[in-house]
């Protein structure tokens, strides 16, 4: 982890300057790909998923084949205790993931509603473009909270979806957003059904 994230997790390892986007700066206690809402801390499982799967479209590799499950949990517990402190002794204080409702069937009507939402109420096209290629009118102006360029995802390259490309993964991103980036949460703007559409 150190060559990219740095000795103290500040995204200042020797390789960091060569990576685009830069590695996560853990000193702010932020994990962007998570199943909790808004600024709630990530769950341990969120962190485990990122370390195991990596982050497509970035230099963060999949560690699931290089480290044993026990080793990945050891890294996560170190990072969680150091950068994402949560009272693990009191279950009531642990972050809770969102509840994902059952996936409805994909129908032509649902797809049409999704198209209307994408180009209307949700305004997805503003960032992702009319054809979903990440080339919307404000795409080049977006920045994350560190000031780094934050290009919207190109939906025609689904293998690069940062949080996964399964329907439940995409629903989760629509619900939680990608914290500290330009991708907002639609938990209050769109109903469960609209997010599935």
The confidence score (pLDDT) of residue 40 equals: 84
Cα–chain-centroid distance for residue 170? 10
Q: What angle do CA 138, 171, 130 make, to 5 degrees?
A: 30
| pLDDT for residue 101 | 95
What does the pLDDT profile of the chain (197 residues) look like in tens digits?
A: 999 999 999 999 999 999 988 898 888 878 889 999 988 888 889 989 999 999 988 899 999 999 999 999 999 889 888 887 666 667 777 788 999 999 999 999 999 999 999 999 999 999 999 999 999 999 999 988 888 888 899 999 988 888 888 999 999 999 999 988 889 999 999 999 999 99
Q: For 109-133, b where at least 16 C-beta lie within 10 A, e where not — what string?
A: eeeeebeebbeeebebbebbbeebe
This prediction has a pTM of 0.86
Task: Using alpha carbons, select from 93, 122, 105, 100 the residue that is nearest to residue 190.
Answer: 122
Per DSSP, the chain holds a count of helices (H) and strands (E) of 7, 0
């Amino acid at each position: 982890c150190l060559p990219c994230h740095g000795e103290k997790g500040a995204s200042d390892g020797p390789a960091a300057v060569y990576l685009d986007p830069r590695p996560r700066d853990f000193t702010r206690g932020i994990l962007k790909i998570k199943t909790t809402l808004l600024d709630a801390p990530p769950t341990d499982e969120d962190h485990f998923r990122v370390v195991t799967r990596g982050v497509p479209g970035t230099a963060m590799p999949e560690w699931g084949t290089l480290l044993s499950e026990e080793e990945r949990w050891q890294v996560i517990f170190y990072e969680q205790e150091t950068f994402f402190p949560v009272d693990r002794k009191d279950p009531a204080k642990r972050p809770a993931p969102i509840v994902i409702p059952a996936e409805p069937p994909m129908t032509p009507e649902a797809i049409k509603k999704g198209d209307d939402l994408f180009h209307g109420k949700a305004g997805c096209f503003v960032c992702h473009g009319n054809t979903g290629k990440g080339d919307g009118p404000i795409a080049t102006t977006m920045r994350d909270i560190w000031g780094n360029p934050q290009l919207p995802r190109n939906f025609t390259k689904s293998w690069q979806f940062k949080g996964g490309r399964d329907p439940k993964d995409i629903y989760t991103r629509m619900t939680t957003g990608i914290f500290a980036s330009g991708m907002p949460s639609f938990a209050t703007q769109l109903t469960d059904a609209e997010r599935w559409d």
